[in-house]
Amino acid sequence: MPELPPIIIAGLTGLISGLLLSIPVGPINLTIINEGARRGFKWAALIGLGASVMEVIYCTIAFTGFSSFFGNRYIKAAMEVFSFVFMLFLGIKFLLAKTVSAPMHISRAADRLEGRIEEKFHPHSAFFTGLVRVMGNPGVLLFWIFLAVNFMSREWVSPTWESKLACIGGVALGTGLWFLGLSWAVSLGHGKFSEKTLLRIENFSGLGLIGLGLLHGAHIAWQLARTKGGSP
């Protein structure tokens, strides 16, 4: 079976990760559901578009602004372990969730920062509501940094600009598809999503993150085995 071109692999990696990051029921998804029920599909879709744009910006920062760290093998190894633990932690949290929560909040200081950003920008349009909601959540940038380390360490995304842009484009497509699909579903169901349905969505995303984390852990173990065996 012929192997896929590296640029296709990078694009698919971005697409899948964009979907996985968008699915958990957090502030953006709840905003789309609530506002979409009140104002319709177009308003909900514009909120999703704003959120997707900010996700892509954070993803771009992760792949470009932190790429110099990937050249130091000690920093790279530490971040690989942290990304493994972080993905497992979030995956288990989403999988075992009993109530719908805002999953990407990482501290009270982060919550205060989010509130200050929303207060400063005071978005009045649907697009900027989505943009600012993601902008004010530093956990999203942290998540993309860990994923960037994960993808580049396994060479799913190479250091070339073409590969990085393909991954970023995949992220844009993945997040856009999810938010657009959610907006459409809200318009059909008039925003009537039960707590049970939202929990199932969050649990499903947890399974995906656990799977991704385990794959990353297996890759780390394989690298350690190669090092101990004296492989180049």
Using N-to-C axis directions, what is the helix angle for 126-135 and 108-121, rounded to 10°?
A: 150
In a domain? residue 197: yes
Taking Cα atoms as reference points, which of 12, 11, 20, 3 lies closest to residue 212?
Answer: 20
Count the domains in the chain.
Answer: 1
How sure is the predictor about 105, in pLDDT bands with cuts at 50, 70 and 90?
very low
Q: To the nearest whole number, what is the mean pLDDT of the chain?
A: 76
- pTM assigned to the model: 0.69
In a domain? residue 211: yes
What does the pLDDT average to over 132-157? Answer: 79
What does the pLDDT average to over 218-223? Answer: 73
In a domain? residue 30: yes
pLDDT on residue 57: 93
pLDDT on residue 144: 86
The answer on pLDDT for 190 being more than 70 is no
- Spatial distance between the Cα atoms of 63 and 175, rounded to a whole number of angstroms: 17
What does the pLDDT average to over 158-170? Answer: 91
Give the contacts of 1 (CB within 8 A, at least 6 positions apart). Answer: none
Sign (positive or negative) of CA dihedral 230, 146, 67, 69: negative
In a domain? residue 115: yes
Residue 24 structural domain: 6-228
How sure is the predictor about 113, in pLDDT bands with cuts at 50, 70 and 90?
very low
pLDDT in tens, 51-76: 999 999 999 998 887 666 666 667 66
The answer on pLDDT for 179 being more than 70 is yes
| Distances, alpha carbon 183 to alpha carbons 33, 75, 106, 151, in Å | 7, 40, 27, 29
pLDDT on residue 49: 93
The answer on pLDDT for 169 being more than 90 is yes
Using N-to-C axis directions, what is the helix angle for 161-189 and 41-64, rounded to 10°?
A: 160
pLDDT on residue 106: 42
In a domain? residue 56: yes
In a domain? residue 214: yes
What does the pLDDT average to over 19-29? Answer: 76
Q: With beta carbons less than 8 A apart as the criterion, state whether 67 and 99 touch.
A: no
In a domain? residue 1: no
